[in-house]
Amino acid sequence: MKGAEEQEESSSYQRVVLKNASPCHYMKVHLVLEDESIRLSAVELKHFIITGLNNLFGEVGAALTFDVLKYEEDTLTALLRVSSKGLVKLWSSLTLLGFYKSQACAFRVLQVSPFLLALTGNSRELQLD
């Protein structure tokens, strides 16, 4: 019996499951404004998002670190990087932002991925020649 126990211990293994192993997530978002002539700079966009975090989660939520990696002022499309722990907070605050300077607005989350490379292409917009 003792030999079987020793053999069982030596052949045992540990199962490791990683959830959200990536330290950050990337979001591609598009801001839709009621008045399409309004344009925001990257600084104004970041301030607007921080205001939304502050309104929903208070000062602690406003301290959430995220970066605007790329911003296209013409299309109001931005690429954001946020820590994986803060993804849900950022996403929910973007969803609940409804007004910018008394104009109705909405954020559309186009893509989310833990890999930046995954956001370089979109299979929905693929054009085959």
Domain limits for position 109: 33-114
**Residue 69 is assigned to a structural domain of this protein:** yes
**Residue 17 is assigned to a structural domain of this protein:** no
Q: Is the pLDDT of residue 124 over 80?
A: no
**Residue 73 is assigned to a structural domain of this protein:** yes
Residue 65's domain is classified under what CATH number?
3.30.70.3250
**Residue 38 is assigned to a structural domain of this protein:** yes
Give the chain's domain count: 1
**Residue 77 is assigned to a structural domain of this protein:** yes
Pairing of strands 103-113, 24-33: antiparallel
Its pTM stands at: 0.77
What is the dihedral sign for C-alpha 52, 58, 61, 67?
A: positive
The answer to whether residues 51 and 104 touch, using CB atoms and an 8 Å cutoff, is: no
Q: Greater confidence, 95 or 36?
A: 95
Beta strand segments in the chain, E: 24-33, 66-72, 77-83, 99-100, 103-113
pLDDT band at 22 (very low <50, low <70, confident <90, very high): confident
**Residue 11 is assigned to a structural domain of this protein:** no
With both helix axes pointing from N to C terminus, report the angle between 42-62 and 87-96 in degrees, rounded to the nearest 10: 120
